[in-house]
Amino acid sequence: MNSPQLQRGVFLALLAIVTVAFLWVLVPFFGAVLWGVALAILFTPLYKWLLKKMPGKRNVAALSTLVICLFIVILPLAMVGVSLVQEIVQVTQSIRSGQINFAAYFQQILNAMPQWLMSIFDRFNLGDMEAWQERISAGAAQGSQLIAGQALTIGQNTFDFLISFFVMLYLLYFLVRDGSALSKTMREAVPLAKPHTHYLLNKFTTVIRATVKGNVAVAIAQGAIGGLAFWLLGVQGALLWAVLMAFLSLLPAVGAALIWGPVAIYFLATGHFWQGGILIFVGVFVIGLVDNILRPVLVGKDTQMPDYIVLMSTIGGMAIFGINGFVVGPVIAALFMAAWSLFVESGQWENPSADAGDDKKNS
């Protein structure tokens, strides 16, 4: 009865159960683990450089890397986050008090439209100004309530956030210090051919690095430029709009134009031609070109997926995983494409080591 086949089956079942149980335990810290892994991948080259400068001092090199990561990435984001919450509260109060009135802004745009365009609106039953104003007012009220609710939720979850934050820092330290050994152990443990495992892990690290280093850097640059332009032009809530532009910049084929475009139209419609002209110039020739200039330098053409795959995987990932989805979605899509590439292409399947080596050079 106690045959080797039965023992192997029981052991594999036990292995699957404890693996699922361990992942279940980590679910509350999903974001902390994800960002710990992402930052470890991003800052491991810095750790290796520091280790060359101080041979044998792995703990000191890892701690120095952690401190540099804190000052370069985490503290600036925390400061922006605090300022953003304060600005959200101010904008919400302005909307509720009527100081910011989107319906009035829309009415000004409609009043500036030529008669022939209004006739087209009327033909398609789009010219009912009162109905439009009611919709905009209702949408603005709902939006302000949603923003206020999210800000309140963030405040209520501050304790959970702090726990996750320190878990991320703790994990980041050990991943930076012991990441190479952990990666080697994982490659040996995964029941796949070694070239296939190496190829897939390289894809994983390449997409993580490209998403965090490339896409986030491009989004921050576009949001910062747009926010600075809004601030110089006197648009209220410039930091809030800057964050929204940065967020939308993560989505290919959508972009920051969804924010600066309507503002430019409002400027032109209300006779502020030079403000509208400056904003259009900045949006088209500065914000629009940042992606074409920075992304190839930071990411590299050979690591990018098609725009439609990035768009769908990013939106789908964020719908399922929240803000973490803009990293998780593209990673899943990249691993999906890499796995099927290995399976379908006979050259890849028989000898993927060449592509794995190419990927290693590119990463």
Answer whether residue 359 is part of any domain. no
Same domain, 152 and 67: yes
- Rounded to the nearest 10°, the torsion over CA 119, 121, 126, 128 is -30
Average pLDDT, the chain: 76
Name the token pair of 308: 């439609």
Whether residues 170 and 268 fall in one domain: no
Residue span of the structural domain in which 257 resides: 192-346
What distance in Å separates the CA atoms of residue 93 and residue 86, rounded to the nearest whole number? Answer: 11
Q: Which position has the higher pLDDT, 88 or 163?
A: 163
Phi, psi for residue 272 in degrees, rounded to 5:
-90, 75
Q: Quick check: is 321 in a domain?
A: yes
116 or 266, which is more confident? 266
DSSP, collapsed to helix, strand or coil, labels residue 174 as: helix
pLDDT of residue 249: 79
In the chain, the N- to C-terminal Cα span, in Å, equals 51
Distance CA 354, CA 248 (A): 37
The number of beta carbons lying within 10 Å of the beta carbon of residue 162 is: 10
Are the beta carbons of 326 and 317 closer than 8 angstroms? yes
- Residue 244 pLDDT > 60: yes
**329, 321 Cβ separation under 8 angstroms:** yes
Q: At what angle do helices 216-232 and 288-298 cross, to 10 degrees?
A: 150
Question: Quick one: pLDDT at residue 34?
Answer: 86
Percent of the chain with pLDDT over 70: 69
- Among 19-28, 222-231, 307-316, the range scoring the smallest mean pLDDT is 307-316
- At 17, the pLDDT band (50, 70, 90 cuts) reads very high
**One domain for residues 90 and 214:** no
Q: Which two tokens stand for residue 186?
A: 């994982």
DSSP 61: H
Instruction: Point out the domain boundary residue: 137, 157, 182.
Output: 182
| 98 to 36, 88, 134, 233: CA distances (angstroms) | 43, 15, 14, 21
324-343 tens-digit pLDDT: 887 888 888 888 888 887 77
The residue that leads in pLDDT, 357 or 221, is 221
User: Is the pLDDT score of 57 beyond 60?
Assistant: yes
Q: What is the pLDDT of residues 61-88, one digit of tens each?
A: 889 999 998 888 878 877 777 777 777 7
> pTM score, two decimals?
0.67
Based on the fold, state whether residues 206 and 75 are members of the same structural domain: no
Same domain, yes or no, for 253 and 166?
no
Tokens for 148?
A: 């206020």
pLDDT of 156 higher than 70: no
Give, as one character, the DSSP assignment of residue 302.
Answer: G
Q: Answer whether residue 267 is part of any domain.
A: yes
Counting the structural domains of the chain, the total is 2
> Which pLDDT belongs to residue 146?
57
Same domain for 62 and 198? no
The whole-number pLDDT of residue 37 equals: 87
Q: Around 76, how many Cα atoms within 13 Å sit in the side-chain half-sphere? A: 7
User: pLDDT confidence of 236, banded at 50, 70, 90?
Assistant: confident
In a domain, 15, yes or no: no
Give the whole-angstrom CA distance, residue 23 versus residue 345.
32
The predicted-structure confidence for 182-219, as pLDDT tens digits, reads as follows 878 877 777 777 777 777 888 888 778 777 777 778 88
Q: What is the pLDDT of residue 300?
A: 53
How far is it, in rounded angstroms, from Cα 164 to Cα 29?
6
- Within the chain, residue ranges assigned H as helices are 4-26, 30-53, 58-69, 75-97, 102-111, 115-123, 129-156, 158-189, 194-209, 216-232, 238-249, 257-269, 273-281, 288-298, 307-321, 325-344, 346-350, 353-362
Q: Would you say residue 242 has pLDDT above 80?
A: yes
Amino acid identity of residue 19, one-letter, is: T
Question: Does 89 score more than 50 pLDDT?
Answer: yes
pLDDT at 95 over 80: no
